[in-house]
Amino acid sequence: MKISADAYPTTVEVPSTLSAVNELQNQHTMIISGGTILQINWEAGVEKPKHLISTDKLQELKGISAVYLEGQLNLKIGAGMTIAECLNSPIVRKNASILAEACEKIAAPAVRNRGTIGGNICSKIGDTIPALLVLDAQLSLYNGELEYMISLREWLTKPNPPSSELLTSVYIPIASTNLPNYSFFRKIGRRESFTAAIISIAGYIVFQENHIQAARLAIGGGAHLPCRLTSAENELEKAVEDIKWPLLYEVIQDDFSSYTDPFVTAEYRKKVAANLFIANIKEALNPK
Ligand SMILES: Cc1cc2nc3c(=O)[nH]c(=O)nc-3n(C[C@H](O)[C@H](O)[C@H](O)COP(=O)(O)OP(=O)(O)OC[C@H]3O[C@@H](n4cnc5c(N)ncnc54)[C@H](O)[C@@H]3O)c2cc1C
């Protein structure tokens, strides 16, 4: 199926199989899902590609289900599911509640109804990414020949993932621990909603009696490349009474690169992040 208009030099191909995607792809094509980020880029003056390949009809990118992957139960979310579908999915809310929280904080309903989780991840700046990082998400990508798996964490470190690779699904291990655990997602913007984040943070902490057995902390939002804060995680994985809070405050700030823009300095973002992580970790340790 091809939609084109003489007055508008961009064509949109809408394939219904992965092999058809492969046949259509060349160095001049670009994948489009909801188009909500691409639209912003084009309005900002970024040149439109001549050929777009829409993911709209690809059934491989649809659906949310629980599946076994190498013996581990996982939540499988098709990359073409909208942010609203993820937010409203009972299975997501039950097994990956912080992903639902992140989705709830993205834009307004009209954008959430159009934008997809795949587009959010592939933008590399989406607010779902910190939540997915602490959930230890894996990605399934189609490279034109086959689908392969890669951890989200590793994929983010690749400088320029080939634009020809299609994200098909996101896999989130369904936690099987009986130990008490606590997770959080927080987004700080310049206004309450509808704005790009100054920072978005996520955390997942597992306790064993008075000991933090596992900690995963991640940051993203704004133009940050999302990442895990591994030094801060190491500082946390110990008996609670041994945690050195002033040191943790410094380690969190050293653990990620930030930037200054006309509104907010890098130092301010780092301080906000450290305060926010520490407040949420302390709340986990001393629930009201
Ligand atoms: C008013 C407004 C407010 C917004 N607020 C937020 C916000 O608060 N937080 C936030 O995170 N985002 C926000 N966004 C950005 C955007 O809406 C979301 O990130 C959305 O999830 C992007 O998904 P999409 O399907 O529209 O991506 P698209 O625009 O279709 O694509 C984005 C990028 O991903 C690539 N891509 C898309 N799908 C795939 C795939 N399956 N495989 C490989 N590459 C792919 C595209 O080539 C493109 O480079 C906002 C946008 C608008 C317009």
CA–CA gap between residue 1 and residue 74 (Å, rounded) = 34
The residue whose CA is least distant from atom 47 of ligand 1 is 31
Does residue 215 line the site of ligand 1, with CB under 6 A? no
The residue whose CA is least distant from atom 41 of ligand 1 is 167
Q: What is the mean pLDDT of residues 19-41?
A: 92
Last residue of a domain, one of 123, 149, 173: 173
Identify whether residues 36 and 78 lie together within a single domain: no
Q: How many CA atoms lie within 13 A of 230 on its CB side?
A: 2
CA–CA gap between residue 288 and residue 26 (Å, rounded) = 56
Amino acid at 212: I
Does residue 126 line the site of ligand 1, with CB under 6 A? yes
Confidence of residue 236 (pLDDT cuts 50, 70, 90): very high
Which residues in 119-131 are b (16+ Cβ under 10 Å) and which e? bbbbbbbbbbbbb
Identify whether residues 141 and 193 lie together within a single domain: no
Identify whether residues 63 and 41 lie together within a single domain: no
- Range in 28-37, 188-197, 252-261 with the lowest mean pLDDT: 188-197
Compute the distance from residue 116 Cα to the ligand 1 centre, in Å: 6
pLDDT of 91 strictly over 80: yes
User: Which CATH number is 109's domain given?
Assistant: 3.30.465.10
Candidate of 106, 190, 198 to mutate for ligand 1, largest count of ligand atoms within 8 Å of Cβ: 106
Identify whether residues 188 and 112 lie together within a single domain: no
pTM: 0.94
Identify whether residues 40 and 63 lie together within a single domain: no
Q: How many residues does the chain have?
A: 288
User: Which CATH number is 247's domain given?
Assistant: 3.30.390.50
Identify whether residues 164 and 212 lie together within a single domain: no
| Total number of domains constituting the chain | 3
- Range in 61-65, 107-111, 176-180 with the lowest mean pLDDT: 176-180
DSSP reduced 3-state for 124: coil
CA–CA gap between residue 98 and residue 52 (Å, rounded) = 32
pLDDT of 13 strictly over 60: yes
User: Which residues have CB under 8 Å from 155's CB, separation 6+?
Assistant: 139, 141, 161
pLDDT of 218 strictly over 70: yes
Structure tokens at 75: 């939540």
- Per-residue model confidence as pLDDT tens digits over 115-155: 999 999 999 999 999 999 999 999 999 998 899 999 999 99
Identify whether residues 134 and 225 lie together within a single domain: no
Identify whether residues 273 and 199 lie together within a single domain: yes
Provide the mean pLDDT of the chain. Answer: 92
Does residue 130 line the site of ligand 1, with CB under 6 A? no
Residue 69 has phi, psi (to 5 degrees) of -130, 115
Structure confidence at residue 5 (pLDDT): 47
Compute the distance from residue 284 Cα to the ligand 1 centre, in Å: 32
Amino acid at 205: I
State the residue for tokens 């709340």: 283
- Give the domain extent around 238: 181-285
Structure confidence at residue 201 (pLDDT): 97
Identify whether residues 191 and 273 lie together within a single domain: yes
Which ligand 1 atom lies nearest to the CA of residue 33? 30
DSSP reduced 3-state for 159: coil
Q: What is the mean pLDDT of residues 263-275?
A: 95
Q: Which residues on adjacent β-strands are paired with residue 205?
A: 182, 215
Confidence of residue 232 (pLDDT cuts 50, 70, 90): very high
User: Which CATH number is 19's domain given?
Assistant: 3.30.43
Identify whether residues 47 and 70 lie together within a single domain: no
- Per-residue model confidence as pLDDT tens digits over 163-214: 679 999 999 999 877 788 899 999 998 765 556 788 999 999 998 888 999 9
